[in-house]
Structure 1
Amino acid sequence: MLTPQTYRSVEGPYVELLRLTTREHAHHIDARGNAARELIGVSFRLPDPRQRLPYLAERKANPVFQFAEALWYLAGRRDLEMIGYYAPSMRASSIDGVTLGGSAYGYTLFTADEGSKQSPFDQVLELLRSETDSKRGYLPVFSARELADRSNPDVACLAGLHLLARAGRLHMVCNMRANDIDCGLLSDVFSFTMIQEYAAIQLGLQLGTYTHTIGSAHVNDRNADRVRRVLTEVDARFTPITFDFPAMPDGTNADTIAAVLDHEEVLRTNQVRYSMRHIKGLTLAAYWQQVVMLFELYRQIQHDKATAVDADLLDALEPGLRWLMEHKWSACAAAPGGVQ
């Protein structure tokens, strides 16, 4: 039986694709001034899509951005104001300085089409509720009309998501037209598996496998030094660092996402400062309280210019999230009273 190679967590295929793309690449391309090494037609599978974070000191994955982007998608947004706060580089992809186009996947998935009362996402959920074993639960994102303007800086890299309900589990196949392995793969897998888990909850199904397929898997030459550092770290370590990622709570719905984003907005705009006591008192499940903690810690870094962030909040984070925060913001970690 021909199936994609499986990995315990996203770190496995990330590292393997970095290694293959840099050392055994099939092509060296230079599309729109971005010189890169490329593999064509690759795929991998995660039996447990919740294992969506890597723990690599040289990569310094940012869980704050990853949760922010996933929530931005789940809310069906395309505004630059929110996502640009967490990833300023995304501003270069906006034509009008206000919204994003092709990369606003959530807007395409969760916004009702003109003349329709339901979003494509809700239409697929309705289909899967009524048709057992349906093969039609596909959510297209990339549109042929994006090819009409060759100067468009923001063409969707995501071709579409395929939801398949089988034997009480919701599986998903993600089709990417292109993926920057070093810069985009990790955040894409994080967000898309969050969408998969959210969909499974709405359908009352268990979480199935996640399969990621890529047309053009590439690493830009300008990132070659960081890639070498990551591969050196992996080759030198005795065993991988692993943490289990918790399950999204049953009952999570659109109101839950909206409530978390209400807290995100007041923290992003520096209207409030949340203490541990305040966050523990929120009417949110512990899972989502963790996300609010991340947003508050980021507020301290961005607005307070903190050299040492709230140790109580750090101590309360899930071990994997704390590890990532420690390694992402080493200046705070080095400060007296900061991350230990």
Structure 2
Amino acid sequence: MLTTPEFTSVEGAYLALLRLATEDAEHHISARGNDAREVIGVGFRLTNPRQRLPYIAERKANPVFQFAEALWYLAGRRDLDMIGYYAPSMRASSVDGIRLGGSAYGHALFSTNGSTKQSQFDQVMELLLTEPDSKRGYLPVFKAKELADHNNPDVACLAGLHLLPRDGHLHVVCNMRANDLDCGLLSDVFSFTMIQEYAAIQLGLELGTYTHFIGSAHVNDRNAERVKRVLAEADSRPTVPSFAFPAMPAGTEGATIAHVLMHEEALRTNQLRYSAEHIRGLGLDPYWQQVLMLFELYRQVQHDQTMAFDPGVLAALDPGLRWLMERKWPACAAAAAGGAK
């Protein structure tokens, strides 16, 4: 009998776990200076892992960062140059100010081994292509040696991802040693389901279920007021916003990720600025065009310090992404709407 709660989207799982940790916390902990309410050993299953974004106005989810982090992982990177631009707070977890350690999950999964010239991910893909019912497709991330330095500020929260091809679908089980339910959970599920979808494409499979298990599921006390507002909105809204998240293109491969990141770097370093028409002419699938639209809007915020988004770029976003950007940067979006009239 299935005992793991099922949800059609990450939003449902997010709200359920927030409610559990705030209303029925098992422990009040203080780990590394972070006071938090905690429940131990919880999990959930997503029946549609593509629905990986929450549409809650109070939460102000940032799709720019979500895509940036997922691409950073898929490229096997660990540098702060890229991810620190989208999330400056992550710089505090770096020992040398140049790279990240345990939280650079993509480096553990996708960087190539010097002797085999294969990444962990490549090895698991090779295994699952030859043994489709294998139980061995596990990608470990957390390493015990991370605990050798008691002052290590960046120990991996992700223990590993278990890839299970069954009946023409790729299912993934994620094991977390810990999850900050208000912040980390949303980013993790977004990135890990993107990795799942990317892996399914490489294996020629349909997207299956995504199951997420957490050892320490917690809400930090410093975020308690926002969590209250999020839950209050969920309880009071007359209708729930619903936007279908598109499927990753079937031809997506490593070269696709590299192509997108080439343009991402040009925008991040302010070498180029793109109009919607320019992005449409880059030879990328519309799915990845949407990501560059987001990166261009973020470039405008960071480098142009604009008070108004480019109306053409904002209007070119899919409705769900536009809804989120309008709530993350409401003044810029409102000014863009006024300028477009």
Verify: 1:252 aligned to 2:252, yes or no: yes
Q: Is the 8 A contact 2:55 2:324 kept in 1?
A: yes
**Structure 1 partner of 2:270:** 270
**Equivalent position of 2:21 in the other structure:** 21
Deviation of 1:98 after TM superposition, in Å, equals 0.2
Q: CA deviation at 1:239?
A: 2.7
Q: What do residues 36-61 of structure 1 show as CA deviations (whole Å, max 9, x unaligned)?
A: 00000000011111000000000000
Which stretches in structure 1 are left out of the alignment for 5+ residues? none
Tell me, in whole angstroms, the C-alpha distance in 1 between the residues paired with 2:3 and 2:228.
29
Structure 1: distance between partners of 2:289 and 2:146: 38
Equivalent position amino acid for 1:94 in 2:
S
Partner of 1:206: 206
Query: Are residues 1:328 and 2:328 paired?
Result: yes
CA contact (8 A) 1:308 1:339 kept: no
Residues in 2 aligned to 1:237 and 1:275: alpha-carbon distance in whole angstroms: 35
Cα deviation for residue 114 of structure 1 reads 4.1
Structure 1 residue 78: Cα displacement: 0.2
Q: CA deviation at 1:150?
A: 1.0
Quote how far apart the aligned CAs of 1:113 are: 2.8
Deviation at 1:334, TM superposition (A): 3.3
Q: Deviations over 1:288-316 (max 9, x none)?
A: 00001000011011111111111111111
1:112 aligns with 2:140: no
- Is 1:234 the counterpart of 2:273? The answer is no
User: Aligned partner of 1:280: which letter?
Assistant: R
Instruction: Give the TM-score normalised by structure 1.
Output: 0.98
TM-score for the superposition, normalised by structure 2 = 0.98
State the AA in 2 paired with 1:8: T
For residues 163 and 339 of structure 2, what CA distance do their matches in structure 1 show?
43
Cα contact 1:249–1:285 (8 A) shared by 2: yes
Q: Does 1:215 align with 2:215?
A: yes
The 8 Å contact of residues 38 and 217 in structure 1, kept in 2 or not, is answered as yes
Deviates more, 1:309-318 or 1:204-213: 309-318
Q: Does 2:34 correspond to 1:30?
A: no
Determine if contact 2:52/2:193 at 8 Å carries over to the other structure. yes
**1:185-207 superposed Cα distances (whole Å, 9 cap, x missing partner):** 00100000000000000010000
List per-residue Cα deviations over 1:312-336 (Å, max 9, x = no partner).
Answer: 1111111100000000001213326
Q: How well do the aligned residues superpose, as a CA RMSD in angstroms?
A: 1.1
SS state at 2:28 partner: strand
**Deviation per residue, 1:157-208 (Å, 9 max, x gap):** 0000000000110000000000000010001000000000000000100000
Q: 1:149 maps to what in 2?
A: 149
In structure 2, what is the Cα distance between the partners aligned to 1:280 and 1:92?
37
CA distance in 1, matches of 2:32, 2:298: 34
Retained in 1: the 8 A contact 2:326–2:334? no
- The 3-state SS of whatever aligns with 2:123 is helix
Provide the secondary structure at the position in 2 that maps to 1:211: strand
93 and 338 in structure 1: CA distance in 2 versus 1, 3 angstrom threshold: farther
| Matches of 2:300 and 2:104, distance apart in 1 | 27
The aligned counterpart of 2:314 is: 314
Tell me the residue number matched to 2:181: 181
Deviations 1:29-82 (A, max 9, x none): 001110000000000011111000000000000000000000000000000010
Moved more, 176-185 or 235-244: 235-244
Aligned pairs for 1:277-288 (under 5 A) are 277-288=277-288
Matching residue's letter, 2:45: R
Q: Is the 8 A contact 1:326 1:339 kept in 2?
A: no
- Cα distance in structure 1, aligned partners of 2:113 and 2:208: 28
1:219/1:306 CA distance change after superposition, 3 Å: same
Matched positions, count: 340
In 1, the alpha carbon distance for the partners of 2:96 and 2:240 equals 43
What does residue 97 of structure 2 align with? 97
SS of 2:58's equivalent in the other structure is coil
Task: State the distance in 2 between where 1:339 and 1:103 align.
Answer: 41
Consecutive unaligned residues in structure 2, runs of 5 or more: none
**For 1:150 and 1:293, how far apart are their aligned partners in 2?**
42
Report the residue type matching 1:193 in the other structure. T
**Aligned letter for 1:107?**
H
Cα separation, 1, equivalents of 2:311 and 2:203: 38
Distance 1:116-1:313 versus aligned 2 partners, 3 A rule: same
Q: Secondary structure at the match of 2:232?
A: helix
Corresponding residue of 1:42:
42
Counterpart for residue 197 of structure 1: 197
Q: Give percent identity, aligned residues only.
A: 74
Task: Give the deviation of 1:339 after TM superposition.
Answer: 8.6
The SS at the match of 1:267 is helix
1:133 touches 1:166 (CA, 8 Å); kept in 2? yes
Which whole-Å CA distance do the structure 2 matches of 1:79 and 1:130 have between them? 34
What is the one-letter code of the residue matched to 1:119? Answer: S
